[in-house]
Structure 1
Amino acid sequence: MKKNFYLFASGQLSRKDNTLLLEREGRRKFIPIEKIESISTFGEIDLNTRLLSFLSQKEVALHVYSHNGWYSGSFVPRKQKVSGKLLVEQVKTFLDPIKRLKLSREFIDGAMHNMLRVLQRSSGKIPGYKDKIEGLKSTRERLQNATGINSVMAVEGAFRQYYYPILAGLTGQEFVTRVRQPPLGILNCMISFGNSLLYTRTLSKIYQTQLDPTVSFLHEPCEMRFSLCLDISEVFKPVIVDRLIMTLLNKAILTEDDFDKEMNSTLLTNEGMKKYVEYFEKFMEETVFHPTLKRKVSYNTLLLTECYKLIRSLLSEEKYKALHMWW
């Protein structure tokens, strides 16, 4: 099974014969490229076009982050799996207001179901659980009356305003509002970093299919952004990121020492990012029993399966049904 490779220190990454060579502080490390699905860099890495051509040839994505965990962008290989028919259907669905709205609602409804499921799994630890859940369910019902994309996003925003303070209570954190750039407070920091890891993982999975990552439905397509990743990631944020945050904080895997707190921002330290990434990878390889496939599948596989579900809905009359946590 291919792995995702993370580089936190500065150095030089190059092609050496038919493998990768990492050089830093006079030390050399060979990395078998056949075992790599993607590379994520968090330090200052020197590379050249020969390396990029090699990564493209081997279908290895390169994701670039700043030293403090800000996602900067990705180099993705030229797609080997392409389908003109699917691309046409993606664009036609985006241009059809009714079809686009239905898909957008489904992405958000799936996300809301999964957020509720996360809270239900910890119901005994939530004061006033019944009233809080009823409030969330009432907000979710408004989704079916949303008449446009902006309305869908507004309902989602209202839902998360109720949801995040409850999540904060489950992790012993203070939370006032969602602050992204830069994140303020430990919970905001962990949500932002986790979402960026999920975003790049979703991009890698999309590239294993014939979907075009630049044509989206909920999020507006624009230049220099793989917006379909944002659509699909919405469904999985509570399933993966929020549950991982609860584990990292409640088991004290990440503590105050793993964060740099400045006046207007909270950022993970280098060691904090390493811990987060380590447990993210472990989580993605955990399995659940899939009632349709009749076997255990990992969260990586669930992401890929979601892409194929979307493809089937675009190429047929089959309705797309976002992942709903059943476990």
Structure 2
Amino acid sequence: MKRPHYLFSSGRLRRQHNTLCLERTTGERLPDDAPDDEGLPSAEADGARSPFPVEAVDSLYLFGEIDINSKLVTFLGQQGIPTFFYDYYGNYTATLFPREGQLSGRLRVDQARHYLSAKRRLVLARAFVEAALFNIERVIKYYQPRLAGEKQAAVQATLLELKKDRDALPLTVDIPTLMAVEGRIRDRYYRLWPHFLGPEVAARFPFNKRERRPPSNELNALISFGNSLCYSTVLRQIYRTALDPTIAYLHEPGDRRFSLALDLAEVFKPLLVDRMIFRLLKTGELNPRHFEKYLGGCYLTEAGRKIVVSHWDERLSQTVQHRTMNKKVSYERLIRHECYKLVRHLCDPVGDPYQGFHMWW
């Protein structure tokens, strides 16, 4: 069975006969933005060689400093393996996609038509926000019975506020207004996180508000890294369909980003990212020593990223009994099904309208 492969070691990744091989470096990796960096490898590839079968690789995630050449790029393209690159701090930076294998001119035209129509675009954008709100409420209600006193009252008050936000969604008349509602929903949700984590964990990981570029503390760093994993996972599933990842509806299409992956990631972040963060912190698998401060920001160390990625991969493999398909489906497969639902809507918005994924457990 093909699975994503996550490479944290630095070195040279190359084709060896008809498989893949990582030639490791023994030196220490230097920051990508070091003042004296000349763009050369931090160390020569003189360590152990680790071959692994290409038949088992669905995609590659490169967290180390990896050298590649055109022979490898050609081989990965022939095998249909997308490759995701992360910088020294664990920030997602780029994707190397093979030549598109799933092409549909009709679907691309339909996708663009829905973006160009303000009414059709707003319908899809609302569906993404509504699904994200529903899943946020499911997460809140999951932890609600574990709380008491003032914390329980804070949760009840937030749920009432979120109900008002839900009632406001049909009244939004443009994308900026809808984005403002979505931002308000997230802010209210994040204010509850210290209650969900408990007093001991909240004391070790203080969290007042969401801050990015750079993340200001450990919890913000964890959210940013988890969101980047969710974004790249959604992008990988979009690649398996004929959807154009650059044409989006909630997030404005722009240069150098796959905006549709941002749209769909909003739906799955409460289930995949937020629940993962709560578990890793409440079980103590992550602690303050797995973070480091650098140039005014806070980032996961390599050891911390390995823990998160291991849990992420395990989480994507978890299965749930699907209500309509009558079989067990992995969390990762749910994302693929979401892409197919969007395709059906774009082709027939009246006969098969899109409704975002709603957690049912």
- The answer to whether 1:132 aligns with 2:158 is yes
Q: For residue 40 of structure 2, what is the aligned residue in structure 1?
A: none
- The answer to whether 1:182 aligns with 2:208 is no
Q: Which structure has the larger Rg over C-alpha atoms?
A: 2
- The 5 A counterparts of 1:73-88 are 73-88=94-109
Q: For residue 253 of structure 2, what is the aligned residue in structure 1?
A: 221
Could you say what the CA RMSD is over the residues aligned between the two structures, in angstroms?
1.1
Give a deviation string over 1:38-86, Cα, whole Å, max 9, x none. 1111121111111111111111011000122011111111111100110
C-alpha distance in 2, partners of 1:73/1:218? 22
Give a deviation string over 1:278-299, Cα, whole Å, max 9, x none. 0000001011111011111110
Task: Determine helix, strand or coil for the equivalent of 1:213.
Answer: coil
- The 5 A counterparts of 1:107-122 are 107-122=128-143
Relative to structure 2, which stretch is displaced further, 69-78 or 170-179? Answer: 170-179
Task: Determine helix, strand or coil for the equivalent of 1:121.
Answer: helix
> Is the Cα contact below 8 Å between 1:168 and 1:187 reproduced in 2?
no
Give a deviation string over 1:190-228, Cα, whole Å, max 9, x none. 110001001111111011111111111111112221111
Matched residues, number? 327
> Is the Cα contact below 8 Å between 1:107 and 1:232 reproduced in 2?
yes
- The 5 A counterparts of 1:294-305 are 294-305=326-337
Q: For residue 322 of structure 1, what is the aligned residue in structure 2?
A: 356
Relative to structure 2, which stretch is displaced further, 142-151 or 126-135? Answer: 126-135
C-alpha distance in 2, partners of 1:178/1:39? 29
C-alpha distance in 2, partners of 1:189/1:125? 26
- The 5 A counterparts of 1:181-260 are 181-260=213-292
C-alpha distance in 1, partners of 2:347/2:68? 40
C-alpha distance in 2, partners of 1:117/1:303? 18
Q: For residue 19 of structure 1, what is the aligned residue in structure 2?
A: 19
- Supply the AA of the counterpart residue of 2:15: R
Give a deviation string over 1:157-202, Cα, whole Å, max 9, x none. 1111110011233122422221111111222111100010011111
Displacement after TM superposition at 1:11 (Å): 0.2
C-alpha distance in 2, partners of 1:210/1:74? 17
Displacement after TM superposition at 1:24 (Å): 1.0
Relative to structure 2, which stretch is displaced further, 282-291 or 20-29? Answer: 20-29
Q: For residue 101 of structure 1, what is the aligned residue in structure 2?
A: 122
Relative to structure 2, which stretch is displaced further, 165-174 or 189-198? Answer: 165-174
Q: Which runs of 5+ in 1 are unaligned?
A: none
Q: Which runs of 5+ in 2 are unaligned?
A: 26-46
Task: Give the counterpart of 2:193 among 160, 167, 173.
Answer: 167
Displacement after TM superposition at 1:322 (Å): 0.1
C-alpha distance in 2, partners of 1:42/1:285? 21
C-alpha distance in 1, partners of 2:194/2:173? 31
Q: For residue 89 of structure 1, what is the aligned residue in structure 2?
A: 110
C-alpha distance in 2, partners of 1:222/1:216? 9
C-alpha distance in 1, partners of 2:162/2:254? 31
- Supply the AA of the counterpart residue of 1:138: K
C-alpha distance in 2, partners of 1:168/1:92? 43
C-alpha distance in 2, partners of 1:57/1:221? 29
Q: For residue 50 of structure 1, what is the aligned residue in structure 2?
A: 71
> Is the Cα contact below 8 Å between 1:57 and 1:77 reproduced in 2?
yes
Displacement after TM superposition at 1:263 (Å): 7.2
Identical-pair percentage: 42
C-alpha distance in 2, partners of 1:149/1:289? 35
Length-normalised TM-score, structure 2: 0.88
- The answer to whether 1:59 aligns with 2:91 is no
Name the CA shift for 1:147/1:208 in 2 (closer, same or farther; >3 Å): same
- The answer to whether 1:157 aligns with 2:183 is yes
- Supply the AA of the counterpart residue of 2:354: Y
Give a deviation string over 1:280-327, Cα, whole Å, max 9, x none. 000010111110111111101100000000000011121100001110
Length-normalised TM-score, structure 1: 0.97
- Supply the AA of the counterpart residue of 1:71: Y
Displacement after TM superposition at 1:14 (Å): 0.6
> Is the Cα contact below 8 Å between 1:86 and 1:314 reproduced in 2?
yes
Relative to structure 2, which stretch is displaced further, 287-296 or 162-171? Answer: 162-171
C-alpha distance in 2, partners of 1:55/1:262? 34
Task: Give the counterpart of 1:143 among 169, 175, 199.
Answer: 169
> Is the Cα contact below 8 Å between 1:186 and 1:259 reproduced in 2?
yes
Task: Determine helix, strand or coil for the equivalent of 2:58.
Answer: strand
Task: Give the counterpart of 2:311 among 279, 291, 295.
Answer: 279
C-alpha distance in 1, partners of 2:13/2:119? 47
